[in-house]
Amino acid sequence: MLTNAYPYYPGEQFIEDEIAFWANNPAASVTLLPTVATGKPRSLPDGVSVDLGMASGTRVGRFWFIWVALFSTIFRRELIHLWRSRRVGAYTALRALLHTSKVLEQARCLEQYAKANGKIDVAYCYWNEAQSYAALLAKARGSVRKVVSRAHGFDLYEMRRKHEYMPLKRQFIHAYDRIFALSDEGRAYLEDTYGAPSENIKISSLGVPLTSTLSRPSPAGSLHVVSVSFCVPVKRLDRIIDALSLFSHQHAQIKTTWTHIGTGPLFDEVRELARVRLAHISNLSFEFLGDMPNQVVKTYYLNTPVDLFMNTSESEGMGVSIMEAMSAGVPALAPDVGGVSSLVSNECGALLSPSPSTQEIAAAIGRVALEDEGHALRMQARKVIEERFNSARTYRDFVAEVLALGANAEAGQTGGLPPKGRSDHADART
């Protein structure tokens, strides 16, 4: 399983729910291969190991692969694509070169891993990015049998990248054995933007566990709003600040509290913006709790009254943080971007327009917070997760499908599945 950093920090906290289903499946032999490994890792269930080969590169090695990339076919093809699409420039050419060097270096790491541990049945790439391209190269060189990849948001939507440029994706998009999109919208984007073969794409949503109890509402006259996100431009946290300012002025009788969970490059800037625009409003308070472990966030919903979860992102894959709140019975407010519409609706919160105004967001807060159907919204939020995004089903089915691909790969190589416990880990080793 190829990750950016997991089990190391930061990020990728949603793998914490999924990894248990891999560990509990007796047919799987799972090794995590992160590209970044600093600090103390998160605990892992029994049956899951970690190999740091992809995270142990040196500066000399990095420069060597940049040199190799300069003369590679991959880089040459990417320059041709940039020229034809009229996007060639110093920035895009440099990104293409660095991405190519990273892919070549990571492919070499995978080949070395396979040489030491046996051919990889399935390279499961959590991100549809450089690691997954490296896995495809390693497959072409005989070190990997099958390559599957998820596609979320940052690794899918070009508008979320500087210069709207996603290096190398069009070169590799046809080579996957399976791409798992989070929604129909994600599938359509893969097909329309990159020309991904429709037969290779399947919908497989992420999921969250059902909480043991539900979050309770605030007392009458109070409103507690929670947001959870990385503080980066695409999350548009300024929209939350402006909407809460307007709502609080319109509803002076309501004592509103906003809690934001999450850090990021814009953390200090967003906190200062909140201080400037909100601190003078007598019926509105706010707090920035910073980064919190995933399990602590889930517990927070159960121990603290929460009335509304807010997301105002310009782009979103599916929104697992939204799912976690809804699992605890918290209504959600979010714009209709990415796969959000399959999760959020006016029956369990408020589905906004793709680029909502301050007035639209403030009005939606009022509808959810002040109408008499608050209990029904909370029950419906929980029901959506129970029926469509319960990790006990979504991850179980996903693991089974990936393992089936691995079994088919091995059968194609040998004419049947190997005896369990073979020393080269030929049982669906991911």
Same domain for 107 and 123: yes
Residue 58: inside a domain: yes
End-to-end CA distance of the chain: 6
Give the separation between CA 33 and CA 213, rounded to whole angstroms.
35
Range of the domain at 281: 222-388
What residues form DSSP beta bridges with 284?
256
Residue 429: predicted pLDDT: 57
- Report residue 282: phi and psi, to 5°: -70, -30
Which of 77, 352, 322, 85 minimizes the C-alpha distance to 207?
322
Same domain for 276 and 135: no
- Tell me what the mean pLDDT of segment 84-110 comes to: 96
Residue 411: predicted pLDDT: 52
Same domain for 237 and 132: no
Give the separation between CA 430 and CA 244, rounded to whole angstroms.
46
Same domain for 407 and 383: no
Same domain for 369 and 232: yes
Residue 294: predicted pLDDT: 86
- Asked whether residue 325 carries a pLDDT value surpassing 70, the answer given is yes
pLDDT digits over 139-191, tens only?
999 999 999 999 998 999 998 888 999 999 999 999 999 999 999 999 999 99
H/E segment holding residue 364: helix 358-370
Q: How many CB atoms sit inside 10 A of residue 71's CB?
A: 8
Q: 417: pLDDT confidence band, cut at 50, 70 and 90?
A: very low
Same domain for 381 and 263: yes
Which comes out higher in pLDDT, residue 269 or 414?
269
What mean pLDDT, rounded, does the chain reach? 92
Residue 374: predicted pLDDT: 82
Residue 383: inside a domain: yes
Hey, what long-range contacts does 58-61 have (CB within 8 A, 24 or more apart)?
A: 61/105
Question: Is the separation of the CB atoms in 33 and 135 below 8 Å?
Answer: no
Same domain for 283 and 172: no
pLDDT digits over 47-78, tens only?
999 999 999 888 999 999 999 999 999 999 99
Q: How many domains does the chain have?
A: 2
- Tell me what the mean pLDDT of segment 253-280 comes to: 96
Q: CA angle at residue 12 from 11 to 16, to 5 degrees?
A: 125
pLDDT digits over 200-226, tens only?
999 999 999 999 999 999 999 999 999
Same domain for 253 and 163: no
Q: How many CB atoms sit inside 10 A of residue 192's CB?
A: 9
- Tell me what the mean pLDDT of segment 131-146 comes to: 97
Question: Is the separation of the CB atoms in 375 and 307 below 8 Å?
Answer: no
Residue 13: predicted pLDDT: 86
The two structure tokens encoding residue 387: 């029926």
Tokens 């290096």 locate to: 167
CATH of the domain at 15: 3.40.50.2000
Same domain for 256 and 203: no
Residue 413: predicted pLDDT: 47
- Tell me what the mean pLDDT of segment 286-302 comes to: 94
Residue 429: inside a domain: no
Same domain for 168 and 114: yes
The two structure tokens encoding residue 291: 């980064």
Same domain for 167 and 84: yes
Residue 409: predicted pLDDT: 59
- Asked whether residue 422 carries a pLDDT value surpassing 90, the answer given is no
- Please state the length of the chain: 430
- Asked whether residue 45 carries a pLDDT value surpassing 70, the answer given is yes
Residue 11: predicted pLDDT: 84
Same domain for 108 and 167: yes
